[in-house]
Amino acid sequence: MLENYKVLTVTHRQTNVKNIGNFVVQCTDSSDLQARLRELKKRFQLDELFYLSTCNRVLYFFTSKQPTDTSFQYNFFQYINPNLNAAQIGSDLLCYEGEASLEHLFEVAASVDSMVVGEREILRQLREAYEQSSNFGLTGDAIRLAIDGAVQAAKSVYSNTRIGEKPVSIVSLAIQKLRSMKVAKDARILLVGAGQTNTLVGKFLKKYEYSNITVFNRTLARAEKLAKLVQGKAHALEHISSYKGGFDCLIVCTGATQAVITPELYTLLLQAEADAKLAIDLAIPNNVDKKVVQQNALTYVEIEDLRTLAKQNLAFRATEVQKAKKLLHTCLAEFPKIYQQRQLTRAMRSVPEEIKAIKDHAINTVFKKEVEQLDDDTRLLLERMLNYMEKKCISIPMKAAKAVEL
C-alpha cells in the first residue's frame, strides 16, 4: 500500500555539506525551477513529487510504481546535473522506499535528522517547500497526506520532548563561530542576501552590538528592511561591484544556485586591502566561488565547518532523540490507517452519483413506458420512494467504510 512512496536524498549524514549543492536543481528563478521539476516528474513517470532543498539536505520525495534501482538513480541525477558520475551518486545518495521513506520524512520534519538537532527552522522550510511543490502542480493526495502526517508528528515531538529546548540553529552556530574569532564590534560587515537566514543573522548581529553593517540584496526593499533592523545601509545587489566601502567580514546567504561572490567581484570588494578577511557562506550550493577561497588569504567558514559545534549540540540532546524516535514510530504506525481511510473515502466519492444515475436510468429508460402509464399520484409516490431509497443506499457504503477496523 505504501510501497509507492520513495525518497532520494543527499544529506549532511552521508557527505560533506558542500557536495549537496551538486544534487540540487540548478535554476535561475522560481519559474525555471518549476519547469525543471515538472520535466523531472514527467520524464521519470513520477505520480507526485515534493522537492526540498535546505542547508543540510536536498530531498526528492515522490510516489511512483517504478523501482528506484541504481540505473533509475543514475538517470535521475544525470538529468539534475550531467556532471555527476556514478561513483559520486553511489557514495552520496540515500534511497528509501515504502515505510522507510515515510520514516525518513517524519524524522526530517522533527529535526531528528538535522545537523543541528532540535532546530525548528526545518519545519518552516518543509511547509514552505510543500506549498511551493503544490503551487507548481507537482503534488497530489498521497504527498499531502504524508506531509500532514510528518508535520503533526513533528509538532508532537517538539511539544512532548525537550528536543527544541535552548534553541540552536545553523545561524546561531555561525554567530558563535564569528564571535570566537574576535571580530571587532565596529568591523565592516557586508551581508549579501536578505532572506530568512540573513535576517536571523541580522538579529544576532544586533543582539551582539555589531554596528557597521551594509546589506546587499537582489530586491532593494528587502535589503532596506534588514538594514533598518541592524541600523545599517542598504543597496541593491546589482550595484555591489561598484561598492567602495571595503569590508572585514562578508556573510553571504542567498537562494542562488550559482556563485554570487565571483573572483572578479571579490577583488573589487577588497578595494586592494591586504589585511585578513573573514567570509561566512551559509548557502547551499555555496555562494562564494571556490576560486575566491583558493586565490585569497581569507578565513572561509561554510556550513560544513559548523559540524563540530553541531555535534556538541547533539550530545546534549541525545536522550531526547531516542524519545522523539519512539513518538515518531507511534505516529508512523497510525499512518497506514489514515492512508487507507483516505483511499476508501476517495473510492466512495463516486457512489452518490452512481446511485443517482441508476435511479435516473430506471425511471427514464428501463421502466419508462410503465412509469408513463401511471397516474400522477402513483408516479409521485414512486419518485418519493426512489428518492428515499437513493438516500439510504448512499449512506450504507459510507457507514460501512467508516466502521471497518483498518
Enumerate binding residues for ligand NAP (CB under 6 A): 54-55, 121, 125, 169-171, 193-197, 217-219, 222, 237, 253-256, 260, 282-284
Quote the least distance from Cβ 294 to ligand NAP, whole Å.
21
Query: Is residue 197 left, alpha or beta, with left meaning phi > 0 and alpha meaning psi from -120 to 50?
Result: alpha
Based on CB atoms, which residue is closest to ligand NAP, 55 or 143? 55
Based on CB atoms, which residue is closest to ligand NAP, 36 or 359? 36
Quote the least distance from Cβ 363 to ligand NAP, whole Å.
59
Look-up: residue for cell 562578508?
250
Q: Which helix H or strand E contains 163, and what residues bound it?
A: none
d(CA 121, CA 125): 6
Quote the least distance from Cβ 286 to ligand NAP, whole Å.
9
Say how far residue 401 (Cα) sits from the centre of its chain.
34
* Three-class SS state of 153: helix
CB-nearest residue to ligand NAP: 195
* Three-class SS state of 25: coil
Query: Do residues 112 and 164 touch, judged by C-beta distance below 8 A?
Result: no
Based on CB atoms, which residue is closest to ligand NAP, 206 or 323? 206
What is the DSSP code (8-state) at residue 73?
H
Cβ-Cβ contacts under 8 Å for 200 (sequence gap 6 or more): 169, 171
Quote the least distance from Cβ 21 to ligand NAP, whole Å.
9
Based on CB atoms, which residue is closest to ligand NAP, 222 or 307? 222
What is the DSSP code (8-state) at residue 240?
G
DSSP per position, 113-139 = TSSSTT-SHHHHHHHHHHHHHHHTT--
Based on CB atoms, which residue is closest to ligand NAP, 232 or 255? 255
Quote the least distance from Cβ 177 to ligand NAP, whole Å.
13
d(CA 223, CA 190): 11
What angle is formed at CA 116 by the lines to CA 333 and CA 199, rounded to 5 degrees?
Answer: 115
d(CA 182, CA 188): 13
Quote the least distance from Cβ 38 to ligand NAP, whole Å.
19
Based on CB atoms, which residue is closest to ligand NAP, 142 or 194? 194
Quote the least distance from Cβ 255 to ligand NAP, whole Å.
3
Based on CB atoms, which residue is closest to ligand NAP, 6 or 218? 218
